[in-house]
């Protein structure tokens, strides 16, 4: 018999708030975490807006800043969110074997030190304007801090968390773009299901609000350039959408085998009952126009959960606010839910917190758990101009009371990676 996996701890740091309840309050009230970029001078960039973390330091999580002074922004967010989740769970007090506790994250690369890189480039320019690689290397050796450079490795947050909590079990990181943390949660669930661990710390962390990150997404024409009204820029499924708003942050969950959780009397936020993973095998940056990967992924997760599509009460959409994603995801939902599609509420909380890239899926799964707990569906804000190609119930602008037992969370990443997780309210 397959082992059941429940969630016993949650934590987050994101543009809507630096803890779970603050974030959830803002989402229910249709607030926005988007504003003008302040982390670097973006005044001459095509996109001058983002969804940044505000008023948070690692010391707020009870950590010594000196200990983590070389850590990247993403690692700091991961530590803060993970400490919230671990504390909420309380499992460490009863953990007898640390080899039964693992970490599986979806984490992106660390922030590039743009100033140091610029110094290396300018130092290496010869009189002819050509790059001298010898001088470039010499400048790097004298300028760069190896501990800081280590943070470019996407696996560093998982390593930091393993050391922080003495998690000696399975440890891994995946970087499948916007699907990363959802895939991490799915794979961590499978680890517990097959008996290789009893507890997994899983989720994601990322920050791409830096010159290289913004430039890259601008080149892909993926970011909104609606700079005049930042809080209205992210408008999933709206006919006037023009791209996503880049966000940052971390979402972390404690996944635990059901019997273990019940034995210690843990509070259970919900249960992971379905996981689906597919690839579009189409284009690096585009979802398949017929939504074949998204359709297959949702069907796989629903089947894994042992449900029919009619049982799904809410969909937290990938809903990026890009022209292609939103219409294709809507099409995929219509295919999966059939005649019942208009009766399934769908919303994108990216309309409020922006797109957290690798951290998005985990954060949005936490939102699903809270929706089930409080029987409230978060809205899609800025939905003002209906798009005939996006014709579902997007919970426009205002939160809605609803009884939710089964929630489906979609995450679709660059490269055509598709992940769907189905969570259930725990009534057992």
Task: Give the residue numbers annotated as catalytic, written as ranges.
Answer: 178, 318, 355
Alpha helix segments (H runs only) across 12-152: 20-28, 73-89, 114-123, 133-143, 146-150
Q: How far apart are alpha carbons 29 and 167 in whole angstroms?
A: 37
Q: How far apart are alpha carbons 315 and 373 in whole angstroms?
A: 15
Bridge partners (DSSP) of residue 14 are: 17
Q: How far apart are alpha carbons 172 and 265 in whole angstroms?
A: 28
Q: Is residue 278 a contact partner of residue 297, using CB atoms and an 8 Å limit?
A: yes
Structure tokens at 95: 């953990």
Angle at 354 between CA 416 and CA 109, to 5 degrees: 60
Q: How does strand 314-316 pair with strand 346-347?
A: parallel
Taking residue 166's Cβ as centre, other Cβ atoms within 10 Å add up to 11
φ, ψ (nearest 5 deg) of residue 362: -65, -45
Q: How does strand 5-13 pair with strand 49-50?
A: unpaired
- Three-state DSSP state, 374: helix
Q: Is residue 274 a contact partner of residue 254, using CB atoms and an 8 Å limit?
A: no
Taking residue 425's Cβ as centre, other Cβ atoms within 10 Å add up to 21
Bridge partners (DSSP) of residue 50 are: 35
Structure tokens at 68: 């983590």
Q: How far apart are alpha carbons 260 and 167 in whole angstroms?
A: 17
Structure tokens at 258: 């059901």
The alpha carbon of 318 is separated from its chain's Cα centroid by a whole number of angstroms, namely 10
Q: Is residue 63 a contact partner of residue 78, using CB atoms and an 8 Å limit?
A: no
Strands (E), 304-366: 314-316, 346-347
Q: How far apart are alpha carbons 320 and 241 in whole angstroms?
A: 9
DSSP 125: B
Structure tokens at 272: 């992971």
Q: Is residue 321 a contact partner of residue 224, using CB atoms and an 8 Å limit?
A: yes
């Amino acid at each position: 018999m397959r082992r059941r996996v429940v969630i016993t701890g949650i934590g987050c740091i994101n543009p809507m708030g630096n803890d779970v309840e603050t974030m959830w309050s803002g989402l229910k009230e249709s607030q926005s975490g988007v504003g003008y970029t302040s982390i670097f001078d973006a005044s001459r960039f095509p996109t001058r807006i983002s969804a940044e973390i505000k008023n948070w330091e690692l010391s707020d999580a009870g950590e010594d800043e000196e200990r983590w002074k070389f850590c990247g922004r993403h690692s700091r967010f991961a530590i803060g969110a993970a400490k919230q989740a671990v504390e909420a769970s309380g499992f460490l007090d009863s953990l007898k074997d640390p080899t039964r506790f693992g970490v599986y994250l979806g984490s992106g690369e660390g922030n590039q030190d743009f100033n140091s890189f610029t110094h290396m480039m300018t130092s290496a320019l010869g009189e002819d304007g050509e790059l001298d690689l010898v001088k470039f290397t010499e400048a790097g050796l004298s300028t760069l801090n190896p501990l800081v450079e280590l943070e470019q490795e996407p696996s560093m947050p998982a390593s930091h968390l393993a050391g922080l909590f003495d998690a000696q079990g399975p440890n891994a990181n995946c970087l499948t773009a916007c699907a990363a943390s959802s895939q991490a949660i799915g794979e961590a669930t499978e680890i517990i299901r097959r008996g290789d661990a009893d507890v997994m710390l899983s989720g994601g962390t990322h920050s791409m609000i830096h010159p290289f990150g913004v430039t890259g997404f601008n080149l892909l024409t993926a970011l909104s350039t609606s700079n005049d009204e930042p809080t209205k820029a992210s408008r999933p499924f709206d006919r006037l959408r023009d791209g996503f708003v880049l966000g940052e942050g971390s979402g972390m969950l404690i996944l635990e085998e059901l019997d273990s959780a019940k034995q210690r009397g843990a509070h259970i936020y919900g249960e992971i009952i379905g996981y689906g993973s597919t690839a579009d095998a189409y284009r690096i940056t585009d979802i398949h126009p017929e939504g074949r990967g998204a359709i297959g992924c949702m069907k796989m997760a629903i089947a894994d959960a042992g449900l029919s599509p009619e049982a799904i009460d809410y969909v937290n959409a990938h809903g990026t606010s890009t022209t292609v994603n939103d219409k294709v995801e809507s099409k995929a939902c219509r295919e999966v839910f059939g005649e019942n599609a208009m009766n399934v509420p769908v919303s994108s909380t990216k309309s409020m917190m922006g797109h957290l890239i690798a951290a998005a899926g985990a954060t949005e799964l936490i939102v699903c758990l809270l929706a089930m707990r409080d029987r409230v569906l978060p809205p899609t804000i800025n939905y003002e101009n209906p798009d005939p190609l996006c014709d579902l119930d997007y919970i426009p602008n205002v939160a809605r009371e609803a009884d939710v037992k089964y929630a489906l969370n979609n995450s679709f990443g660059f490269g055509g990676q598709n992940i769907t997780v189905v969570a259930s309210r725990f009534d057992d």
